[in-house]
Each structure stands twice: as structure tokens, then as C-alpha cells.
Amino acid sequence: MSKSEMRNKIGERIKELRKRDHITQERFALMTGINRSYLADIERGNRNFGFDTLERIINGFGITYEEFFRDM
């Protein structure tokens, strides 16, 4: 899997979990301390991001890395 494909899958997973929990981008951005437009770009697969950002996102959902990456 290419880096671009992985970015897209991670972005899709973030959006899926956020919608599952009925959380808007704006609210999730506030919850995680991530800029909303940056979060939107991550969800679309248009932005590179670091492990620190991914950790803030996963912690924002209150799940483990294993749960986040399950079925990807």
C-alpha cells in the first residue's frame, strides 16, 4: 500500500468514527486541539500528519491504536 493510499484510508477511518459518534469536524477539532481545516484535509487524504497528531485523534475517540486500525 502506498503512502497516499494509507493517508486516504486513515482519513476515511477518522471520518467514519467521527460520524459514528455524531461529532462535527468543528467539535472534534476543539476536542483534540487540531485546526478544523487541517482535520478536514486529513480526512480527505490531502495532508501529511505526524504520529503526535494521530495520537491526539485516536485519544479523542477514546479508543486504542488496535481499535483504530482494525479492519483497515
Q: For residue range 42-71, what is the model confidence (pLDDT) as tens digits? A: 999 999 999 999 999 999 999 999 999 998
H/E stretch holding 31 = helix 25-32
H/E stretch holding 38 = helix 36-44
Domains, in order of start, for the chain: 3-69 (1.10.260.40)
pTM over 0.85: yes
The predicted structure's pLDDT at residue 17: 98
Q: For residue range 18-44, what is the model confidence (pLDDT) as tens digits? A: 999 999 999 999 999 999 999 999 999
